[in-house]
């Protein structure tokens, strides 16, 4: 009697290792995109604040597009149209570019709000003490404004970390893509999704707790 072919197999210890590796991939693309997006978004926020009317007419509409269009559409469009202009990027690079720009678009308003949170009298006082414009930004605006909008930035960072799951549509094997692969093979969706949720929690919870710790320390 010929042996029966088995198309499905149960969840094995190696599968947990596979999900752990995918979680690290999620963490890597998230940290890279959030870091670059924060720097770029802070620059955009400063331009929106200082540029006033000019920035409102030029930069603001572009950022609104990235904030308004669903992220999955941005990912698919960029990945498919980038080769047309000579950019042959793999799924990781394409996902990083779009997540970075998406993060920057969100952080821009946060950064502008941080600058606006520092009152004009305080900034005039800093300048009257002999500080230059850049010293004022570094020693007055950044510490005070940064603390004021820190909770908003943490919310953006956690949101982008979860939104990184959408990069799976490009074929990048992060946590969600790995879960889909295992569900197809093991036919155990409840177990796999529960583990994926646990991994996402393990990635997000320390960030949230540390952010709360910093806020409490600053409040003292």
**10-residue stretch averages of pLDDT, the chain, 220 residues long:** 52 83 94 96 91 79 92 94 88 95 95 87 82 85 88 93 92 89 85 91 91 82
What is the enclosing helix (H) or strand (E) of 42?
helix 13-51
User: Residue 175 belongs to what domain range?
Assistant: 22-215
Q: What is the tally of structural domains in the chain?
A: 1
Task: Tell whether 142 is covered by a domain.
Answer: yes
Q: In this structure, is residue 110 part of a structural domain?
A: yes
Residue at token pair 């005070």: 144
Q: Are 192 and 127 spatial neighbours (Cβ–Cβ below 8 Å)?
A: no
Indicate the SS3 state at residue 96.
helix
In-domain check, residue 30: yes
Give the separation between CA 32 and CA 118, rounded to whole angstroms: 29
- 60: Cβ contacts below 8 Å, ≥ 6 apart: 48
CATH code assigned at 41: 1.10.3720.10
pLDDT of residue 37: 96
Q: Quote the pLDDT of residue 33.
A: 96
Q: Is 135 part of a structural domain of the chain?
A: yes
Tell me whether residue 137 is in a domain.
yes
Q: Which pLDDT value is given to residue 8? A: 57
Is 17 within a domain? no
Q: Is residue 14 part of a domain?
A: no
Residue 8 lies in a domain: no
| Overall pTM > 0.75 | yes
């Amino acid at each position: 009697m010929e042996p029966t072919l088995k198309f499905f197999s149960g969840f094995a210890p190696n599968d947990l290792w596979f999900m752990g590796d995918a979680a690290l991939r999620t963490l890597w693309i998230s940290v890279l995109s959030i870091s670059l997006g924060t720097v770029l978004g802070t620059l955009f926020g400063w331009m929106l604040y200082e540029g006033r009317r000019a920035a409102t007419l030029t930069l603001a509409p572009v950022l609104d597009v990235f904030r308004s269009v669903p992220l999955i559409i941005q990912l698919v469009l960029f990945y498919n149209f980038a080769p047309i202009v000579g950019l042959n990027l793999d799924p990781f690079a394409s996902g990083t570019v779009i997540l970075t720009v998406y993060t920057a678009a969100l952080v821009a308003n946060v950064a502008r709000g941080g600058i606006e949170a520092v009152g004009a009298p305080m900034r005039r006082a800093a300048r009257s003490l002999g500080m230059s414009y850049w010293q004022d930004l570094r020693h007055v605006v950044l510490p005070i404004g940064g603390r004021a909008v820190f909770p908003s930035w943490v919310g953006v960072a956690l949101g982008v970390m979860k939104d990184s799951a959408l990069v799976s549509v490009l074929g990048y094997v992060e946590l969600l893509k790995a879960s889909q692969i295992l569900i197809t093979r093991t036919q155990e969706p409840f177990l796999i999704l529960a583990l994926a949720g646990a991994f996402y929690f393990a990635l997000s919870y320390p960030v949230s707790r540390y952010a709360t710790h910093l806020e409490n320390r600053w409040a003292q």
